[in-house]
């Protein structure tokens, strides 16, 4: 007779003889314990200062350090919802260990995040510095890329300036017709019920159309104010560039005028005449640069006044194009404007989320934002992030470099970016900072070879030397991995356009 199979005893209602330690519920290498140790190293004085300034009477608040660790762990495991976090504090053992078996209400969690949003954002830099001290941040290779994220708004709720003007005229005509209808109804009801009695209410249709018209006019005024502010910033940049050119031309003219006089012989007389002609040419160039600078400054002042007037009309804060731009600030969209600063017909603004913009993502056109992230290649640690409504990735490279510098105190040795960041300004900015930047000069589908180049071999500038296919003594080396990586950093200039040397190298 075989022995019956036995199992371990199971009794969900069994009472424990001794109180267990919550720490025993999780393995020793669990993420919760790492975050608890990390919380002890974080500077939360900005959060504690908010509670110290409040009245000590009333219900006691949850420990701020516990709330910070709760949010960090919830985000690490992909739970951003405050209601889901509250439910996890009841049902998830890791959350119960983290909170010390406390269950904060979802409203408390949401309010804590909202009140201390700026302080919580500052924890990113603190955690990054701790990773740097722990040797988890090498900044040897940093990869930069962007992705388009949908906003909480429909792209169908956006309207162009041209359509706003047409819709505004249409709504005004409809409201005028409804007003005439209301007056006729009022006159008929006055004749029927007598003057002073009810009957003078406007139709509900009129109220709805009036609300739509008010919202449309508000959006149109804000769009015009934003376009005028962008126009003023561009005019200010042009004025400052013209003034710098004038200062440089004036310095050259002054230097040419102070050139030492030569002795009076045939050769020196000829040289003196050439020097005098050069001085006159520099003086003439300085006068022309001065006129251009004065004209550019006048246009910038007119654009600034227009931007101020548009902002006041829209009830927005007064823009200040004269203030120096924050190097850490992310770029914003450039609305198409006319020469006078008015938005063009295709300039759009969304009614639900005015800060979002129409962007082209992987799934087509979306209403959203362009999110940027720079990641350390050795340990996959995010060293800088940014969000903007600028569709192109190219204007984000310099601000992201500034953010990497601000967060870590140093620039990476190498930066890797795709073709969306390739521009002359970005290459010059990388060279100016001494950064070894690997920026693709073209887009190429994954798993596909680039199309072969046509026409004569382009000239390539590398380390101050000119390299061409005919002057290459060892063409076989062009197909080596090192040659590809080296040549991919160089721009190919051929008849005024830029192309990738990778196709010529057989990459």
Tell me: the pLDDT tens digits for 384-433?
Answer: 999 988 888 888 999 999 999 888 888 888 899 988 888 888 888 888 88
Provide the mean pLDDT of the chain: 76
pLDDT band, very low/low/confident/very high, at 228 (cuts 50, 70, 90): confident
Burial class (CB in 10 A: 0-12, 13-18, 19+), 433: middle
Give the span between the Cα atoms of 503 and 491, in whole angstroms: 13
Q: Are residues 112 and 171 in the same domain?
A: no
Expressed as residue numbers, the domain containing 28 is 22-134
User: Could you tell me if 288 and 361 lie in one domain?
Assistant: no
CA distance 5 to 179: 88
Say if residue 203's pLDDT is above 60: no
Asked if residue 282 is part of any domain, the answer here is yes
Q: Which helix (H) or strand (E) holds 192?
A: helix 161-193
User: What is the number of other CB atoms lying within 10 angstroms of the CB of residue 11?
Assistant: 6
The candidate with the shortest Cα–Cα distance to 219, out of 153, 173, 174, is 153
125-167 pLDDT, tens digit each: 888 888 777 777 777 788 888 888 888 777 766 767 676 677 7
Of the pLDDT bands very low, low, confident and very high (cuts 50, 70, 90), residue 66 is very high
Last residue of a domain, one of 65, 100, 134: 134
Which tops the pLDDT comparison, 452 or 165? 165
State pLDDT tens for residues 300-327: 888 888 888 888 887 877 776 655 467 7
Residue 325 maps to a domain:
no
122 with 173, same domain: the answer is no
Residue 342 has pLDDT above 60, yes or no: yes
**Where is the domain boundary, 430, 463, 481?**
430
Residue 351 is assigned to a structural domain of this protein: no
Left (φ > 0), alpha (ψ -120 to 50) or beta: where does 360 sit?
beta
Provide mean pLDDT across the span 362-379.
Answer: 87
Residue 322 covered by a domain: no
For the sheet with 459-462, list strands across it.
Answer: 465-467, 459-462, 492-494, 497-499
Both structure tokens of 430: 């990388």
Alpha-carbon gap, residue 272 to 276, rounded angstroms: 6
Choice among 103-112, 128-137, 342-351 with the minimum mean pLDDT? 342-351
Q: What is the mean pLDDT of residues 231-242?
A: 83
User: If pLDDT is split at 50, 70 and 90, which confidence band does 109 have?
Assistant: very high
Concatenate the DSSP letters of all residues of 258-313 into one string: TPPP--SSHHHHHHHHHHHHHHHHHHHHHHHHHHHHHHHHHHHHHHHHHHHHHHHH
CA gap 151, 449 in Å, rounded? 35
Q: What are phi and psi of 481, to 5 degrees?
A: -60, -35
Quick check: helix, strand or coil at residue 333?
coil
pLDDT at 193 over 70: no
Q: Could you give the number of structural domains in the chain?
A: 4
Does some domain include residue 197?
yes
Residues 144 and 167 in one domain: no
At 284, is the pLDDT very low, low, confident or very high (cuts 50, 70, 90)? Answer: confident
| Residues 407 and 448 reside in one and the same domain | no
Whether residue 242 is found in the same domain as residue 193: yes
CA separation, residue 160 to residues 69, 171, 224, 276, 402 (Å): 45, 16, 11, 58, 34
Pair 128, 146 in one domain: no
Read off the pLDDT band of 354 (50, 70, 90): confident
Query: For residue 116, with 0-12 CB atoms within 10 Å meaning exposed, 13-18 middle and 19 or more buried, which class applies?
Result: buried
**pLDDT at position 95 over 90:** yes
pLDDT over 70, % of the chain: 73
Contact between residue 167 and residue 441 where contact means Cβ atoms under 8 Å apart = no
| Selected residue with higher pLDDT from 50 and 190 | 50
- What confidence tier does 85 reach under pLDDT thresholds 50, 70, 90? very high
pLDDT band at 452 (very low <50, low <70, confident <90, very high): low
329 located within any domain: no
- Say yes or no: 163 and 310 in one domain: yes
Does the residue 342 lie in any domain? no
Asked whether residue 344 is domain-assigned, the answer is no
Q: Does residue 36 or residue 446 have the better pLDDT?
A: 36
Residues 206 and 288 in one domain: yes
166 and 304 both lie in a single domain: yes
Residues 205, 242: one domain?
Answer: yes
pLDDT at 210 over 80: no
In this structure, are 126 and 145 located in the same domain?
no
Domain boundary among 134, 168, 190: 134
- C-alpha 304/C-alpha 337 separation (Å) is 14
Which residues make beta-bridge pairs with 494? 497
Q: Which residue has better confidence, 474 or 433?
A: 433
């Amino acid at each position: 007779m075989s022995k019956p199979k036995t199992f371990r005893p199971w009794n969900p209602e069994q009472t424990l003889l001794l109180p267990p330690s919550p720490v025993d519920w999780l393995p020793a290498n669990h993420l919760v314990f790492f975050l608890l140790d990390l919380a002890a190293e974080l500077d939360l004085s900005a959060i504690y200062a908010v509670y110290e300034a409040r009245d000590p009477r009333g219900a006691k608040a949850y420990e701020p350090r516990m709330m910070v660790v709760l949010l960090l762990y919830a985000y690490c495991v992909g739970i951003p919802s405050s209601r889901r976090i509250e439910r996890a504090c009841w049902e998830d053992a890791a959350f119960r260990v983290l909170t010390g078996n406390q269950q904060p209400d979802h409203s408390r969690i949401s309010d804590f995040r909202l009140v201390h949003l700026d302080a919580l954002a500052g924890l990113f830099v603190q955690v990054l510095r701790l990773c740097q001290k722990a040797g988890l941040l090498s900044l040897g290779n940093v990869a930069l890329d962007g992705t388009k994220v949908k906003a909480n708004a429909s792209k169908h709720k956006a309207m162009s300036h041209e359509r706003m003007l047409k819709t505004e005229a249409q709504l005004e005509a409809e409201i005028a017709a409804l007003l005439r209808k209301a007056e006729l109804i009022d006159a008929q009801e006055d004749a029927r019920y007598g003057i002073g009695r009810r009957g003078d209410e406007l139709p509900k249709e009129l109220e709805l159309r009036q609300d739509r018209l008010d919202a449309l006019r508000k959006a149109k005024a804000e769009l015009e104010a934003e376009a005028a502010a962008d126009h003023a910033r561009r005019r200010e940049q042009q004025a400052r560039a013209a003034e710098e050119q004038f200062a440089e031309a004036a310095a050259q003219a002054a230097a040419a005028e102070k050139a030492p006089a030569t002795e009076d012989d045939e050769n020196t007389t000829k040289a003196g005449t050439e020097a005098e002609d050069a001085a006159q040419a520099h003086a003439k160039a300085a006068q022309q640069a001065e006129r251009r600078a004065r004209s550019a400054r006048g246009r910038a002042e007119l654009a600034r006044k227009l931007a101020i007037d548009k902002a006041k009309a829209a009830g927005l804060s007064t823009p200040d194009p004269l203030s120096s731009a924050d190097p850490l600030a992310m770029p914003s969209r450039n609305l198409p404007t006319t020469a006078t600063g008015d938005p063009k017909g295709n300039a759009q603004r969304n009614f639900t989320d005015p800060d979002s913009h129409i962007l082209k993502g992987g799934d087509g056109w979306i209403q959203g934002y362009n999110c940027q992230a720079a990641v350390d290649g050795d340990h996959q640690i995010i060293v800088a992030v940014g969000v903007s409504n600028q569709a192109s990735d190219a204007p984000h490279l310099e601000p992201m470099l500034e953010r990497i510098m601000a967060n870590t105190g140093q620039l990476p040795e190498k930066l890797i970016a795709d073709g969306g960041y390739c521009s002359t300004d970005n290459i010059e900015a990388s060279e100016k900072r001494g950064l070894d930047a690997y920026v693709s000069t073209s887009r190429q589908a994954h798993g596909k070879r680039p199309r072969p180049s046509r026409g004569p071999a382009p000239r390539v500038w590398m380390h101050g030397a000119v390299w061409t296919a005919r002057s290459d003594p060892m063409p076989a080396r062009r197909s080596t991995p090192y040659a590809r990586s080296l040549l991919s950093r160089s721009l190919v200039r051929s008849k005024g356009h830029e192309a990738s040397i990778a196709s010529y190298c057989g990459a």
